[in-house]
Structure formats: structure tokens, C-alpha cells
A and B are shown apart, each in its own frame.
Chain A
Amino acid sequence: NNPRNPHHHRALQEIRRSLMPFANETT
């Protein structure tokens, strides 16, 4: 599911990347 607004889409990708290094091992 991607938001219609490309700006939101980019923002979500950026947030996902910034969270990744801190993910618990189980995730």
C-alpha cells in the first residue's frame, strides 16, 4: 500500500530506512 502522494511515499521510505538499524532481532 503506497500513499497517492509521492511526497508521503518518499517520507515513509526515509523513515523506514532510519528505523532499520534499531530493529529488534526478532523483527
Chain B
Amino acid sequence: MASVLASKMGLNSLRRKQAKTFSVTVVTMDADLEFSCELKWKGKDLFELVCRTLGLRETWFFGLRYDVKDTVAWLKMDKKVLDHDMPKEEPIVFHFLAKFYPENVEDELVQDITQHLFFLQVKTSILEEEIYCPPEASVLLASYAIHAKYGDYDPNVHKPGFLSQEELLPKRVINLYQMTAEMWEERITVCYAEHRGRTRDEAEMEYLKIAQDLEMYGVNYFSIRNKKGTSLLLGVDALGLHIYDPSNKLTPKISFPWNEIRNISYSDKEFAIKPLDKRADVFKFNSSKLRVNKLILQLCIGNHDLFMRRRRVDSLEVQQMKMQAREEKARKQMERRRL
């Protein structure tokens, strides 16, 4: 008996020594997930596991982001996870985030989980002031965020003070006015009461629609220099590339829509945007950081691919997935009406 036990123990420690796994933590917008990955896994294996765990099928919007030095990078699907240049202390931390954004949020997002993750990500970016949000829009959006959290407005339940623990507005907005917390709550509650009759899901979608209408998400900004050495901002989004003055992130000086670009090349650490119109100037730029240049290139390719894909018929698999999700949504709505 003892020898059997000893041999079993020996076997277990041997197994441990030969462990072919490493641990990762995947932080989503509403949960932290722990996974044990095989050493040979590629980015795709981990990404697919996360999507399966979340029940998320609209995978094309998302990516796994990690911090590297003073910037961020996205896990490559066809490269081994451990071959990426990142700190290897376990658990390795990744953030599961929207990498690409829809052109039209209402038409394109199908699953509730996709919508929820987008909602949480955009809301966080607005509250943390990564995105500029005018004061009046902050109040309107806060009323929909509250609606998404608390359900439909009910004056018997939602009494003064019910928002006292909530983070409602960007600090910058609060500092612009001489208003107490109670006054802000009252403003937001007035709006909340005005859009009664919606479900939480509908409130989330309304939030995203308003934010999209006001162009408050979807652009990835990068500090760049043009060939004359002028500091500029580059914005990459679902519709194309935009060049901004660093002091005005909202109105581009020049835009290059994807369908008007003949080609974007990257060589000798320099980008060149060649417009379709051969008479138009080629726009050359770069970022001083190699990692940022790589990130720009990845986002250009990914956004352009999605732009082209939106203009083609969905694959059978995607058609089926969208149909299932729509049926599920319709079934839920029917159930709600019946109740």
C-alpha cells in the first residue's frame, strides 16, 4: 500500500514538473476570468476560449490587450501567447476589450453580451475622460446609464438620494458648475423619468446610439509627426484615417475614408497614405515609437478588413448566428410584453 502511495506521489510530482501550462487572468469589463493555458497555445486558442466562456459570438470586434512598457499591444492570433514580448510573471494579465467599433451600432451589434461589453467600455472611457463628453451629453448619458442599471424609473423606489453612491459624471463636468451632488442627481433623475418604458437593454443601446451620434467613441488616437516634423494626432476608426490638430480631437483637418485610399504603406519607420485620386498628395507620417507604429498598422489593417467585410454578404455561419440572436431577442421581447 505504502509503495503504491509513494509511486503515486512520485508520479504526481513528476506531472507537476512536466506541467505544460501557464496561468492567465483575463479582465473583461465586468469580470475577471482565470485560465490555465497550454505552453503551445497561440493567441487564437486563448481568445476563442475567452469568447466561448463569455458566450460571445461577435468575436470580430474584440481583442486581448496587454500592457507593454509605456504603451499597449494586442495579442496576435497566429503567434504563440508566450512568444509575445510581455512580462511573463504569472498570471499574465490580458484585458478583453473592443478593439474595433461598429459603423452603426444599432444595425451591427446583435448579441446582448456584445452590447453590454460595448456599453461598459464606452461608459468607463467617458467617466475616465478618455473621451471628451460635453456637460449636457454627460447628463443625458448618465440618465441612460442609470436606467440600464436600475431598470425603469419608479418614483416610489427611486427616491432622492438613490444615486448618492453612483459615479455619474466626469469630474471635469462637475467642476464646471456650482452644483451640489443633490442638484446633479435631480437633473439626471428628471431625464431618467422622461425615458420611462424602456428595458435595461434598450437603455444600454440608447446610450451607445447617443454616444455614437455625438462621435464620442470608436476613434483610436495616436501622436504622430508629418514629414515636416509637425506634431499632429492620427485617428483610426471604422470609417478611415483622420488627421487632427493636437488641440482639437473632435474636428479632423483631413480625413481619408477607407474607400478613397489606394494603399497605406509602412517602410523605413514611415507611413504613407496614397489616396485613390492620383492627383492628391501622398500623406507621410510616423510615430517616434516603433510599438506605436506597429499598433497603428494593425488597427489600419483590422479596420479596413472590417470595412470591406461590411460591404460583402455575411458568411453562412454569421448569417445563422445573427438569425439566432435576433430570434432570441424577439422571444425575450414577447415574454416581456406578456408579463
Chain A interface residues toward B at CB < 8 A: 1-5, 8, 11-13, 15-16, 18-19, 22-24, 27
Contacts and interface: CB of A to CB of B under 8 A. Distances in A.
A2 B214 CA distance: 6
Contacts of B213: 1-5, 8
Given A3-B213, A19-B187, A11 B177 contact: no
Given A12-B136, A12-B137, A15-B136, A22 B209 contact: no
B176 A24 contact: yes
A8 B136 CA distance: 11
Contact of B177 (A2, A5, A12, A19): A19
Contact of B176 (A3, A5, A8, A27): A27
Interface in B115-154: 135-137, 139-140
Given A5-B209, A24-B176, A24-B178, A15 B214 contact: no
What range describes how many residues of B lie at the interface? 20 to 34
Contacts of B210: 3, 5, 8
B290 interface: no
Contacts of B191: 11, 15
B194 interface: yes
A15 B194 CA distance: 12
A25 B178 CA distance: 10
B215 interface: yes
B4 interface: no
B140 A1 contact: no
Given A8-B210, A11-B194, A22 B137 contact: no
A5 B183 CA distance: 27
Contacts of A24: 175-178
Nearest to A16: B136
A24 B194 CA distance: 27
B140 A11 contact: yes
B178 A22 contact: yes
